[in-house]
Amino acid sequence: MSQLAIQTVLEEKLTGIIERVTFYSEETGFCVLRVQVKGFVDLVTVIGHAPAINAGEFLETSGTWVHNATYGRQFKATSLTPLPPCTPEGIIKYLGSGLIRGMRASTAQKLVEHFGETILDILDNDPKRLSEVAGIGEKKAEIIGKSWEEQKVVRNIMLFLHQHGVSSSKAFRIFQTYGENAIWIIQKNPYRLARDIKGIGFLSADKIAEKMNVAKDSLMRVQAGISHCLLEIVEAGSCGYPREGLIEKSIELLDVSRERVEEGIQEELLSGHIVADTVEDEDCLFLKGMHIAEYQSARILKTLNASTSGWSNTDAEKAAQWIENTHRISLASSQKRAIQKALQSRVMIITGGPGVGKTTLVKSLVYIFEAMKLKVKLCAPTGRAAKRLSEVTGRDALTVHRLLEVSPNDGKFKRNVENPLDCDVLFVDESSMIDTSLLFGILKAMPPKGSLFFIGDIDQLPSVGAGQVLKDMIESEQLPVARLTEIFRQAQNSEIVRNAYRVNSGQIPRTDLIFEAGDFCFCESESPELAVDQIVEMVTKKIPEQLNISARQVQVLCPMRRSLTGVNNLNVVLQKAINSSPSVYVERFGIRFQINDKVMQIVNNYDKDVYNGDIGYITGIDHEDKSLSIDFEGHIVFYNFEELDEITLAYAVSVHKSQGSEYKAVVIPILMQHYMMLQRNLLYTGITRGKEKVVLVGEKKALWIAVKNYRLAKRYTKLKEWLTSENL
């Protein structure tokens, strides 16, 4: 007898009422159920997958009996079909399970007592009648009726999508976006999901399309694949990409002919999803939004630069003297020249390395503008950078997203051309982190007569997002730039500053400094295994004892995520060393989250008002509510367990993620394991994140390679070209 025949003989059908949902994964649909089955004295444990499941539902299932060494006999279902309950007890349990907003177990009891088994028909056809029950008014009846209708639609969508490999949490996002037409829209073009739904990319949409028998060379698939390749290019830092390179990437992704890809490109161009243009005379293709953002940003910058400020006649020399006398600030000649240039400009860039007085200059300009009765606003790309800017200036500073009032619904900014910022002067700190989209958002929100100042270190890593905004603006030589180069006396005494400049000028940082002697040292390692032990000792013992700080205040910055001395492994090792005995924890997406863990938000979440790079500490884990709370410097944010893919452990973070932040102490592993990421600007950026202590742990050869490697991956952008164009 064949294996298939044996399986058919062994498979059984089982029906019953779900008494309890012991476990349910929103991500995979896997569930463990306790089911009351006719003919069985005890509850039966059923395991399987379902798009949605609730206590009280009637269950029809097919599967086989298995024995688990820990949990005993279980029914392993190959199919699970939950149906509305058919007994009064089941209906009460079902309606009171949390399925419907505004419906508690006590409310469900009252409804069943009043309407009996007809309650489900009433919810379907005449929910207004719920107000007949004492304690349920018309408004509550409306809420319950609406929630009931929504869950029915969602359930149908979930059933459809689960059959095509989509998780329940993503299915609900699809319903929120498409509403009741979700299934029709997806059947017509499943690749719309990749464009419209957060968290569903091309690869997920492609799996759904494959199950729907969409042909591999279908034009809708090819077009979606081309846009996906361009989106990946944008996420890697470029605003556009050479046409030939995009064709090659698309062929590799889609496994279709060159002719079909070229046909797809033509259709995408005709639809307006992508745009053709040149970068340094090379034919390139852009996503439409990125092309518009660069073009319009250049146009607005040129318009700002062509006009004069309303205070251009102010005596800069007197203003500088007033600062020195009134605020007891000693200004260098370069800072005084910068003040003069700032008073005459509507857009200007202030750049320089550590210790050259960028902060002092910004503080002086803020005082001068405020003395002129002008309204000044300050912002930075990250919460930590904004907090630091606020501390050094004594003025409120916001993240760019909060300043521009991002909408949690669609991620768009409420501040724009029609609703500009209420200020006369805007300072944007850590501008090396500003990407093309964020620059466009800032420029659209500028008031008609406002002035704009960018502050940043051009030698740091470029933005994580697409573009090289600060570099392009400076290299265009079309905008006023104040370059501060004079290192102040206090900074001259810092080995952190000295060695940062050594790295930036192509010299090896000093490796002969001992740990106890100052604020910078190199700790040599014979192997990655030894480096891990040295890092743990530095973080948990040596640095905390020297600086009298906690281990959580020491930040490990890694060149890359993978490897023994990368972000992923060091987070696991440091979590065990720093937070080894948690009272409560939860494991999700391969990460164990514990009370008091240091964590980082890794995507922008406008609804929660937390952003990529924000660091906080876990303050609570509630397994009953399946939620977790994090304190982001006084801002308490709650996450459902299925949302924990938005955060990660932050005992160690990448150097890229550290941009815009400053830490009391920094430890940087730098070994040959990191060969692919060893670059001068990465090492320079990491060193300049440390305020009181920087320790490099690793190999001298790796250090030498990083310092000597100053060639950066090319980013395809148009901003510089448009700034220099006379025809814009």
Averaged pLDDT score across all residues of the chain: 86
Distance (Å, whole) CA 360 – CA 328 = 11
The residue with greater pLDDT, 703 or 313, is: 703
User: Mean of the pLDDT values across residues 634-659?
Assistant: 87
> Are the beta carbons of 372 and 311 closer than 8 angstroms?
yes
pLDDT at 154: 64
Q: Is 358 annotated for ligand binding?
A: yes
Query: For residue 198, how many other CB atoms are within 10 A of its CB?
Result: 11
Half-sphere exposure of 688 (CA within 13 A, CB side): 26
The residue with greater pLDDT, 268 or 124, is: 268
Q: What is the per-residue pLDDT across 346-356, written as a single tens digit (0 to 9) for each?
A: 999 999 988 88
> Are the beta carbons of 450 and 426 closer than 8 angstroms?
yes
Give 717's pLDDT tier (boundaries 50, 70, 90): very high
Q: Is 356 annotated for ligand binding?
A: yes
User: Mean of the pLDDT values across residues 309-318?
Assistant: 84
Q: What is the per-residue pLDDT across 154-178, written as a single tens digit (0 to 9) for each?
A: 666 666 765 666 655 566 677 777 8
Q: What is the per-residue pLDDT across 493-526, written as a single tens digit (0 to 9) for each?
A: 888 999 999 998 899 999 888 888 889 999 999 8
> Are the beta carbons of 625 and 639 closer than 8 angstroms?
no
Whether pLDDT at 198 is above 60: yes
Whether pLDDT at 69 is above 90: no
pLDDT at 158: 62
pTM as predicted: 0.75
Distance (Å, whole) CA 6 – CA 560 = 51
pLDDT at 642: 75
Range of 39-43, 251-255, 457-461 with top mean pLDDT: 251-255
Whether pLDDT at 620 is above 70: yes
Distance (Å, whole) CA 624 – CA 277 = 55
Whether pLDDT at 2 is above 50: no
Which is nearest to 74 in space by CA: 108, 37, 106?
A: 37
pLDDT at 311: 81
User: Mean of the pLDDT values across residues 276-280?
Assistant: 94
Q: Is 140 annotated for ligand binding?
A: no
Q: Is 70 annotated for ligand binding?
A: no
Distance (Å, whole) CA 435 – CA 461 = 12
State the virtual CA torsion across 675, 708, 430, 355 in degrees, nearest 10. 130
User: Mean of the pLDDT values across residues 98-102?
Assistant: 66
Name every residue whose Cβ is closer than 8 Å to that of residue 173 and which is 6 or more positions away in sequence: 197, 198, 199, 200
Q: Is 465 annotated for ligand binding?
A: no
The residue with greater pLDDT, 151 or 233, is: 233
Beta strands at 627-632 and 615-622: parallel, antiparallel or unpaired: antiparallel
In percent, the amount of the chain with pLDDT more than 90 equals 41
pLDDT at 27: 59
The residue with greater pLDDT, 553 or 107, is: 553
